[in-house]
Amino acid sequence: MKTYTNTGNKDTRSGFGAGLTELGKTNENVVALCADLIGSLKMDEFKANHPERFFQVGIAEANMIGLAAGMTIGGKIPFTGTFANFSTGRVYDQIRQSIAYSDKNVKICASHAGLTLGEDGATHQILEDIGLMKMLPGMTVINTCDYNQTKAATIAIAEHHGPVYLRFGRPKVANFTPEDQNFEIGKAVQLTEGNDVTIVATGHLVWEALEAAKTLNEQGISAEVINIHTIKPLDDKAILDSVSKTGCIVTAEEHNYLGGLGESVSRVLAQHKPTPQEFVATNDTFGESGTPAQLMEKYGLNASAIVKATETVLKRK
Amino acid sequence: MPNTQQLQDLTTQVRRDILRMVHKVNSGHPGGSLGCAEFFVCLYQEIMDRNDNFDMDGIGEDLFFLSNGHISPVFYSVLARSGYFPVDELNTFRLIDSRLQGHPTTHEGLPGVRVASGSLGQGFSVALGAAETKKLNKDNHLVYSLHGDGELQEGQNWEGIMYAAANNVDNIISTIDLNGQQIDGATDDVLPMGSVRAKFEAFGWTVVDIEYGNDIDAILKGMAEAKSLTGKGKPVCVLLKTVMGNGVDFMMHTHAWHGKAPNDEQLAIGLSQNAETLGDY
């Protein structure tokens, strides 16, 4: 089984910050907006390098979304930054009308997604944002898994014309994807080859899926792990090709099972190749305060949960 | 440059367009549209410096954003009669497969529209964003926007209004259509706002009053004053006092025609009060 090395824990939001810094140097049309969370979003360096292209909007997310939509008129590529909750649910109608329906080239960059925001609790831990964003016609939805991939994705979305939701997180997690990777929107990345089960994961759950695959391998179960960084458009072919071989699938995400990656995968399977599926996701619930590790354990979003789901799905084959 | 009589003639024709558009599909918003007919005519014929060919980016020309998108009939009529698309297309207003959606949108590619509007309160932010990009592009042209007075009840407006003054966005002229009416009745009954002027001044805007917002000379004079106040570090707000339903006697001074179309008989009366000056579509 192919194995991956953690080159040192890093937060995905710092990958976003590094990507934005790079874009500042290479693309003069990139502008950045932030709603009073510059430090949390790691936008300090872009701001220092390009004060004229950086817009502090204050605690006013609705205005930030509208400003970004307007800034595209005249050729700018705005990147907005705030927490995932305030990037989506709080401003849904602004995104819907002024960005998505108006086909504006805005990149909505959302940190602190999911339970791993930790101690601040459920008011700040959104587990519904992938669903909200993927339902918007024309919206691309990306959830990156580590620092390197988040940096690569940040740079890649500037070249893509159209609205994008880029979701990442707060905690320091394993950094294991290549530093020089070519990020292709909508293209799943197969991490391991396997014959018994397909595990498709997104965001922080990708590393957990690799850990799970190691455990399963020791039990003689060969898992094919696929990193689905783009939830919309979904790489249907990669999923169908893999389940054609394995005959069952586990989906894993830091999100409600309603509206998330798992449901998108179910749709593909239902239409083209009905296949037993198990969901590693939150079960229609809000989060709570706690450390990221405690929360991921309590809500069943880690490697051991993926192993358990695999054992269940294998029995359904 | 058109003279006042030519602008007046166009206004009369625009009123006919509005009435005929909403009558045909028995839906749409004639009241606010009629109240803003003179303003739109002046804006597109006289006030804005705009290019003939529509380009989304609008570099090197003035831009306009309609925030209260429900008054799409007046917007569409004036866009068509200003050459953005064939006047005949007004026939398709609110019909299936039309570019003239109930509320304006870029989605069907209608020239002249730069953002969707209809869900209220979003236009300030979008117009301000476009104004910021003009500054980044070192484009000295202006951004104009129009908002309903009832629309100011939406909180997002005030986020934008606060932002504009704080960031010295002085290349924008935002007009408030002060017709004092909204769907459920008089604005003062639904949610009294107090002094709109005092609010904008408190938020750091320069405010210009146009007391007779259905008078072409008053509009031209007020907007020229507003233009002279741009570029001085503060955003500019125009308070345009209009009469909802202006030009059709039974539609005036009431919220009743906010979102209701005239029947055949009412259409005939409305048209009889507005001469066909430039040819119906």
Instruction: Give pLDDT, residue A145.
Output: 98
What pLDDT sits at residue B2?
82
Q: How far apart are CA B191 and CA B178, in angstroms?
A: 14
A100 and A157 co-located in one domain: yes
Domain-embedded: residue A162: yes
Same domain, A158 and A201: no
A3: in domain? no
pLDDT digits (tens, 9 = 90+) for A100-146: 999 999 999 999 999 999 999 999 999 999 999 999 999 999 999 99
Side chain identity, residue B4: T
Could you tell me the CATH number of the domain that includes residue A55? 3.40.50.970
Q: Are residues A158 and A239 in the same domain?
A: no
What pLDDT was estimated at residue A287? 97
- B residues 87..116 contacting A (CB < 8 A): 105-107, 114-116
pLDDT computed for residue A82 by the predictor: 98
Same domain, A146 and A233: no
Whether residue A75 lies within 8 A of chain B, CB to CB, comes out as: yes
The residue among A147, A173, A199 that closes a domain is A173
Residue A100 lies in a domain: yes
Tokens of A170: 């707060």
- Distance of alpha carbon A209 from alpha carbon A218, whole angstroms: 14
Q: What is the pLDDT of residue A118?
A: 95
CA distance A192 to A104: 37
Q: Which of A36, A50, A73, A96 to mutate to test the interface with B (most CBs of B within 10 A)?
A: A73
A20 found inside a domain: yes
Sequence-distant (6+) residues with CB within 8 A of A127 are: A114, A115, A254, A255, A256, A282, A285, A286, A287
State the pLDDT at residue B238.
98
- Using DSSP bridges, classify how beta strands A230-232 and A140-143 pair: parallel, antiparallel or unpaired: antiparallel
The per-residue pLDDT for range A81-92, each reduced to its tens digit, is: 999 999 999 999
In B86-215, which residue ranges form alpha helices assigned H by DSSP?
123-136, 155-166, 187-190, 196-202
For range B251-275, the mean pLDDT: 96
CB–CB contact B156 A70 (8 Å)? no
Would you put residue A144 in left (φ > 0), alpha (ψ -120 to 50) or beta?
A: beta
CA distance A227 to A190: 6
Q: Which residues of A touch B62 (CB under 8 A)?
A: none
Instruction: Give residue A6's identity as a one-letter amino acid code.
Output: N
pLDDT mean across residues, chain A: 98
Q: Can you give the residue range of the structural domain that contains A290?
A: 189-311
Distance from CA of A210 to the nearest CA of B (A): 42
Q: What count of other Cβ atoms lies within 10 Å of the Cβ of residue A267? A: 12
User: pLDDT > 90: what percent of chain B?
Assistant: 98
Domain of A297, CATH number, reads 3.40.50.920
Confidence of residue B137 (pLDDT cuts 50, 70, 90): very high
Under a CB-based contact definition with an 8 Å cutoff, are residues A164 and A88 in contact? no
Residue B54 Cα, gap to closest chain A Cα (Å): 13
Residue B172: which pLDDT band, with cuts at 50, 70 and 90?
A: very high
**Which ipTM was obtained for this model?**
0.97
pLDDT of B1 above 90? no
Does A164 lie in the same domain as A87?
Answer: yes
Of the candidates B65, B105, B129, the beta carbon closest to that of A101 is on B105
Q: What is the mean pLDDT of chain B?
A: 97
The residues with which B237 forms a beta bridge, in sequence order, are B174, B207
Instruction: State pLDDT tens for residues B5-57.
Output: 999 999 999 999 999 999 999 999 999 999 999 999 999 999 999 998 999 99
pLDDT of residue A70: 98
User: Is there a single domain that holds both residue A196 and residue A300?
Assistant: yes
- Asked if A76 is an interface residue toward chain B (Cβ–Cβ < 8 A), one would say yes
Residues A74 and A156 in one domain: yes
Q: Domains in chain A: how many in total?
A: 2
Residue A69: per-residue pLDDT:
98
User: Residue B71: which of B11, B4, B120, B10 has the closest Cα?
Assistant: B120
Q: Structural domains in chain B?
A: 4-272 (3.40.50.970)
Distance CA B223, CA B62 (A): 14
Q: For residues A166 and A281, state if they share a domain.
A: no
| Res. A9: pLDDT tops 80 | yes
pLDDT over 70, % of chain B: 100
What spatial distance separates the first Cα and last Cα of chain A, rounded to whole Å?
A: 22
B22/chain A closest Cα distance in angstroms? 23
